[in-house]
Amino acid sequence: MNTIRGRILLAFLTLCLITAPVILFTYNSMKDIETARNLKEQVAFFNINRLKAVNTFNILIEEDPKLDAFYTTDSTANLLSYKNYMQNARIALEAINTTSIVTSQVVDLRVEDITNKLHSLDNYVNEIIRLKRERGFKDYGLEGEMRKHIRSLENDTTTLTQIENLSLRRKEKDYFLRSDLSYANALNQMGDSILLRLAKDIETNKKSITVLEAYLTNFNKIVQLESAIGDANTGLLFQTKELNQLLNANITKLYDVLNEDLELLINKIKSFIILFLLITFLFLIVFAFVFSGYIVKPIKQLITDMDHIVENDFKLGTKVTVNTNSEELDKLSKTYDNLVQKIQNQITHLNLKNEELNSLNSLLAESEVELKEASKIKDKFFSIVSHDLKGHTGNVLSLAQVIDQNKGLSEAEKSVFTKYLLDSTQNLQLLLDNLLNWAKTQMSDHEISKRSFDLHKVIQKNIELFQDGAYRKGVELIYLPTEVHKAYADKDMVDFILRNLMSNALKYTTQGDRIAVTVHNKEEQLYIKVSDTGVGMTTSQVQALLNSNQEGLTTKGTHNEEGNGLGFSICVDFIKRNGGTLEIDSEQGKGSAFIFSLPTNLTTNAILNKID
């Protein structure tokens, strides 16, 4: 036993000898617990089938007496289901009686009582079914005989009047519908009265008297049978209800007894196992303390030497010397010496490779970022140039060719074409401005030039720029100058913002609408409002416009004007760079208002924003 494997095997065999009794006891105990649980399952199976049988019986009493098969055969679907459920319940009771765990006298007595009550319940049910068949329905049983007699009386019009026949049938139906004995008594009194009348001429009415007496006799037997069968409060049905309630109580008590027995059994097993485990645990502690001395001490010494070498990054000597009486540990010590030497050589080689890779990765990362940015700007630029710019220049060229090729145009026609040419040129200029400004925003080194300037002149310039286009579209363009402070921002950017907001306002208005530009001071801030009475936007459209980071989010104007979607995204960026804010107030069908702010002087926020 000089090897670790041999010592561990010896310890394992000792542990098996110690734990074998508890394993055997636990196995037998689990079998007892499983048997107890199976007993509970059998009780549950019995109760389920009993309840199903009771439910099927209730359906049977309501439905089957109306079926011909109920009187001609013994195999209606409900009756077969009832018998099947009762048979399953009896089988479950037999299984409970034969289960070995049932040794408690209390359990045996309760099972016996349940068996007797189930037998009584089945007898009551069979008796009710028998009485139901005897009573009959339509052409079967007593009711069938009664129907024959009453039809015979109805056919004989010489003895009973039609009113008497109808009155008898009416009282009969009232009793069957309401189960009220007063209707039965009334029918008997009327029948006796008719018999007294017929008895005055016995020879003539002999047959009718016999038929009427038979009718009354069958009716009274049905009344007696109905009384014997009863309902929820009387007769056999009431007794079956009481028996079911007693069975429910007895089964509940049986469950309680079985749960108590099972709990006692489980607690007994737990107590024994806990006691045995405590004894085993104490023994194992002593055994482990003694046994570990043969293994742990040389391993600790080996670990200490290894940790010391690792903490010094394998730079110290690699010789590990362990005094051990284990063959495995001797081999492990020598193997580790060789491993440390190889690791030390590999570390030196890897350090050199890592330095080279880090340098290359840094260069590659920088190149990748630059390439992605350049590719993005290039793709966007060519997309706009190939589509929007080409479209606008095509419009200008087409209009110029029309004017050039049609020398005989009137002054009015020339004026119209000239206006369209001006509009196309203005749109082309706006597109070029947007394109150039967008290209600037994509450059990381693009700077802004903030200074104090007269905002009124910038607004007036843009009013004049769009005045003619508004006139042609039938839109009123309003600007009422007020005395305001000068703005402190990049003048070109502000001019671009106003031009785009007014262009959008004109784009989404139509004849009869109004565009207004207003400015007011508030706490060293200028608030410029560009409002219109055009088509407006929904709340979701406003949120999408404010939250969108996509360039190219655009819709057609009221006259199918098209845009590239760059203008608004650049406006948002320019407002932010100049230390301002932007708000949108819009309602669909009523117009929109775009309000942006600018500082009136050099503020701390403006300085910090410029630094950013």
Give the 3-state secondary structure of 43-97. HHHHHHHHHHHHHHHHHHHHHHHHCCHHHHCCCCHHHHHHHHHHHHHHHHHHHHH
Higher pLDDT, 69 or 348: 69
Two tokens, residue 30: 């689990």
C-alpha torsion sign, points 199, 205, 208, 210: positive
The per-residue pLDDT for 612 is 39
CA angle, 10 as apex, 6 and 11 as ends, to 5°?
A: 120
User: CA nearest 117: which of 298, 249, 290?
Assistant: 249
Q: Is 443 helix (H, G, I), strand (E, B) or coil?
A: coil
* Contact present, 228 and 131 (Cβ < 8 Å): yes
CA angle, 397 as apex, 391 and 398 as ends, to 5°?
A: 85
Q: Give 478-494 as a DSSP string.
A: EE-----PPEEE-HHHH
Please compute the mean of the pLDDT values over residues 331-339 and round it to a whole number.
73
| Angstrom distance (rounded) from CA 543 to CA 565 | 16
* Contact present, 448 and 490 (Cβ < 8 Å): yes
Two tokens, residue 239: 């007794």
Please compute the mean of the pLDDT values over residues 487-497 and round it to a whole number.
92
Cα dist from 378 to 272, 383, 391, whole Å = 82, 8, 19
Higher pLDDT, 422 or 487: 487
Average pLDDT, the chain: 81
Please compute the mean of the pLDDT values over residues 138-148 and round it to a whole number.
90
H helices of 406-454, in order, are: 411-441
Q: Is the pLDDT of residue 54 over 90?
A: yes
Proportion of the chain above pLDDT 70, given as a percent: 78
Higher pLDDT, 609 or 224: 224
Please compute the mean of the pLDDT values over residues 220-246 and round it to a whole number.
92
Two tokens, residue 560: 């199918």
Helices (H), strands (E): how many in the chain?
17, 7
Q: Is the pLDDT of residue 283 over 80?
A: no
Cα dist from 326 to 7, 80, 163, 321, whole Å = 10, 79, 120, 13
Q: Is 174 helix (H, G, I), strand (E, B) or coil?
A: helix
Type of residue numbered 193: S
Two tokens, residue 196: 């007294």
Q: List, for residues 358-402, the tens digit of each pLDDT value.
A: 888 887 887 777 677 656 656 655 555 554 555 557 566 666 767
The per-residue pLDDT for 552 is 47
Q: Is 385 helix (H, G, I), strand (E, B) or coil?
A: helix
The per-residue pLDDT for 102 is 46
Type of residue numbered 253: K
User: CA nearest 51: which of 85, 74, 94, 76?
Assistant: 85
Please compute the mean of the pLDDT values over residues 499-524 and round it to a whole number.
92
Please compute the mean of the pLDDT values over residues 211-226 and round it to a whole number.
93
Q: Is the pLDDT of residue 55 over 90?
A: yes
| Angstrom distance (rounded) from CA 390 to CA 384 | 8
User: CA nearest 135: which of 233, 240, 229, 238?
Assistant: 229
Q: Is 241 helix (H, G, I), strand (E, B) or coil?
A: helix
Q: List, for residues 285-333, the tens digit of each pLDDT value.
A: 877 777 676 666 667 777 777 777 777 766 655 555 655 566 666 777 7
| Angstrom distance (rounded) from CA 187 to CA 140 | 22
Torsion of CA 341, 343, 345, 349, to 10 degrees: 180
The per-residue pLDDT for 611 is 40
| Angstrom distance (rounded) from CA 537 to CA 587 | 5
* Burial class for 5, CB neighbours closer than 10 Å (0-12, 13-18, 19+): exposed
Q: Is the pLDDT of residue 238 over 90?
A: yes
* Contact present, 136 and 70 (Cβ < 8 Å): no
Pairing of strands 591-599, 582-587: antiparallel
* Contact present, 224 and 203 (Cβ < 8 Å): no
Proportion of the chain above pLDDT 90, given as a percent: 33
The per-residue pLDDT for 290 is 73
The per-residue pLDDT for 370 is 64
| Angstrom distance (rounded) from CA 19 to CA 22 | 5
Q: Is 108 helix (H, G, I), strand (E, B) or coil?
A: helix
Q: Is the pLDDT of residue 591 over 70?
A: yes
Please compute the mean of the pLDDT values over residues 529-546 and round it to a whole number.
90
Q: Is the pLDDT of residue 563 over 60?
A: no
| Angstrom distance (rounded) from CA 100 to CA 36 | 9
Type of residue numbered 322: V
Question: In angstroms, how far apart are the furthest CA atoms of the chain?
Answer: 143
Categorize the per-residue pLDDT at 94 as very low, low, confident or very high, splitting at 50, 70 and 90: confident
Please compute the mean of the pLDDT values over residues 191-207 and round it to a whole number.
89
The per-residue pLDDT for 315 is 64
The per-residue pLDDT for 554 is 61
The per-residue pLDDT for 25 is 72
